[in-house]
Structure 1
Amino acid sequence: MNQTAAQQLVFAMLDADGDGIVSREEYLARTTNVARAMGLDQDDPAVVTARTLGERAWESMDADGDGRLAFDQYAAWAGAEAFDTVCAPVLGALFDLADTDHDGALGLAEFTALRTALNNPAANAEAAFTALDADGDGRVGRDDYIASIRAHVTGDGSPMGSALYSAARAERLPA
């Protein structure tokens, strides 16, 4: 899958209401949704950290400051550098919210709760977990999780990314 197609799939997942625009509220709701799914209070220090990183990421993406992100803006911003400096810390913080036993890895239930809170269908999350759990130990490590998403959004290919952002979102892709 090329980088544009991969970005379209991610954008469609970020666009929770399917209107072709990712709003500030949609993007920032990701932390609230994960915290709620994991039973965490909004004032939990890990939730505050994830929210702060999410706000920084939004400010980086929304270059014109209008609170709305169209696909062309997202595509111009997204790439390896943005992922490494902005996205990876946010994704890591969200992963940490789902890591209920704080061991640096997620089991299937934690992974599915995380990804469904981030607007992926449960079936996609389970398929992605299976694709990422290469050794079959029933656990997905933080570094492997982030590396797999990076590979997807930069167009390098990722079985986990392909499963997460599959055809279930294809009808909502930006034109």
Structure 2
Amino acid sequence: MTLTPPEPRATATATPTTPKARIYAMLDTDGDGTASRHDYFVRIERARQATGRAQDDPLVIAAQTAGERAWAAMDANGDGVMTYEEYTAWVDGDKFDNVCRYALAALFDLADADQDGELQRSEFTMLRQALGNPTDNADAAFDALDTNGDGRVSRSEYLAAIRAYVTGDDSPMGEALY
């Protein structure tokens, strides 16, 4: 599947303030007020393009497969769109642990150029930009995750920080990033 990704957008209206609203705004890549199947999968395509990987790369296939599972769970009625109301009613810690974690982990693996289970700042920034986060937030988010200052963020730290943000727990990375 080849998608032509739209350019990342700036929010035209007030900036969302709750974690779920911020994440939903990022998922709505075209800014039309709903997160569509296209919006969701264009993020994977952006990550693929940013990493220079081919469509048949096993990591790309894994990201697309995990994305298909996640989208099927999020779009339970199969209409191709997920409204904000549907998203907020759906997402919680259990859904993160059993659905979202795998899709996000596959995207992490796409960005992890040397496959060592850690992202360096440049890999982290590239991934977050590909997923629709503002460029100027990536450094602060990386710093919030890199608590020991070694210049790397592990897969488990990354996923735990996103989970904490989604579920309303303390997440300095989430606060900085979104």
TM-score by length of 2: 0.89
Q: Whose helix proportion is higher, 1 or 2?
A: 1
* 1:170 counterpart residue number: none
Partner SS state of residue 33, structure 1: helix
List 4+ stretches of structure 1 deviating above 2 A. none
Partner SS state of residue 83, structure 1: helix
Note the aligned Cα RMSD (angstroms).
1.0
2:63 equivalent to 1:57: no
* 1:7 counterpart residue number: 20
Deviations 1:56-88 (A, max 9, x none): 100100011100111000001100010000000
CA shift, 1:20, in A, is 1.1
- Counterparts of 1:128-143 in structure 2, within 5 Å, are 128-143=141-156
Which stretches in structure 2 are left out of the alignment for 5+ residues? 1-16
Structure-1 separation of matches of 2:39 and 2:32:
11
2:106 aligned to which of 80, 93, 96: 93
Which stretches in structure 1 are left out of the alignment for 5+ residues? 166-175
Structure-2 separation of matches of 1:53 and 1:103:
20
Q: Using the aligned pairs only, state the percent identity.
A: 56
Specify which structure has the bigger relative contact order, considering alpha-carbon pairs within 8 angstroms and separated by 6 or more residues: 1
2:82 equivalent to 1:79: no
CA shift, 1:105, in A, is 0.3
TM-score by length of 1: 0.91
Structure-2 separation of matches of 1:149 and 1:49:
20
* 2:30 counterpart residue number: 17
Deviations 1:113-141 (A, max 9, x none): 00000000111111100111000110000
